């Protein structure tokens, strides 16, 4: 009898009453921050190494001709799209940065914390190039140096962005929202834990 009552109490609890606790959300913010810092540092440090070792412009085979190291300055986005509109690319990157911060306020999932952290660190990394690399002032060229079989040349930030996008797709397919709750046929729930999804 008591079990039935408990189950009814849990199931009747409004979803917004079962969001992650402040303590758990704080831990998730720490995860997001640590991942963002690591993504940023790995991007910027590898760019510094590339600028030092690849300054002569000569390609260096890494995995045969499939993956090479070749230094370029990219005024556009991935695949050199928007090369003639560097300011537009900078504005888009700033908008993405703001969007990440806004979405992160709903954070209730470790996996989402990792994904958003990768996106945040990568966005800041490429924005750093826009403002500190020549010609600067928001129009700087992003340092790219990983040549994928002459298809396009990217950097470590691009790797993290693609990884984050893949993780977000998986989370979407699993129905796990940013707040950690699962979407079951249009309704969200997180079980009886009251802490949000552990994903």
Partners of residue 182 on adjacent β-strands: 176, 189
Asked if pLDDT for residue 109 goes beyond 80, the answer is yes
- Cβ count near 108 (within 10 Å): 25
The pLDDT value recorded for residue 185 is 57
* Helix 110-132, helix 156-174: angle, nearest 10: 150
Pairwise CA distance, residues 82 & 79, whole Å: 9
Report residue 115's pLDDT band, with 50, 70 and 90 as the boundaries.
very high
The pLDDT value recorded for residue 15 is 46
Most confident of 74-78, 94-98, 171-175, 185-189: 171-175
32 with 103: CB under 8 angstroms? no
* Helix 110-132, helix 86-104: angle, nearest 10: 150
Q: Which of 43, 129, 144, 147 is catalytic?
A: 144
pLDDT in tens, 59-92: 999 998 899 999 999 887 655 555 566 778 788 8
Most confident of 6-10, 40-44, 184-188: 40-44
Report which of residues 44 and 130 the model is more confident about.
44
pLDDT in tens, 124-152: 999 999 999 988 777 788 999 999 998 88
pLDDT in tens, 7-36: 444 444 444 445 678 889 999 999 999 999
SS3 185: coil
CA-based Rg of the chain, rounded to a whole angstrom?
A: 21
Is 43 one of the annotated active-site residues of the chain?
no
Pairwise CA distance, residues 78 & 113, whole Å: 24
Comparing 71-75, 111-115, 155-159, which segment has the lowest mean pLDDT? Answer: 71-75
Share of the chain above pLDDT 70, in %: 78
Is 183 one of the annotated active-site residues of the chain?
no
Q: Which of 129, 147, 158, 179 is catalytic?
A: 158
């Amino acid at each position: 009898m008591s079990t039935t009552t408990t189950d009814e109490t849990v199931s009747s609890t409004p979803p917004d009453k079962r969001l992650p606790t402040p303590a758990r959300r704080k831990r998730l913010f720490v995860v997001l921050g640590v991942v963002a810092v690591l993504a940023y540092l790995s991007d910027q440090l590898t760019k510094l190494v590339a600028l030092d070792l690849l300054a002569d412009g000569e390609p260096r085979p890494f995995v045969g001709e499939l993956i090479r190291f070749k230094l370029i300055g990219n005024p556009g986005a991935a695949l050199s799209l928007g090369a003639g509109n560097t300011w537009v690319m900078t504005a888009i990157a700033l908008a993405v940065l703001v969007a990440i911060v806004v979405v992160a306020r709903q954070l209730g999932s470790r996996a989402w914390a990792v994904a958003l952290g990768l996106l945040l660190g990568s966005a800041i990394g490429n924005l750093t190039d826009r403002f500190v690399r020549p010609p600067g002032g928001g129009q700087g060229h992003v340092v790219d140096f990983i040549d994928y079989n002459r298809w396009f040349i990217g950097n470590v930030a691009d790797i993290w962005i693609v990884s984050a996008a893949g993780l977000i797709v998986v989370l979407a397919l699993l129905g796990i929202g940013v707040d950690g709750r699962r979407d079951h046929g249009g309704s969200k729930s997180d079980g009886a834990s009251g802490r949000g999804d552990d994903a």
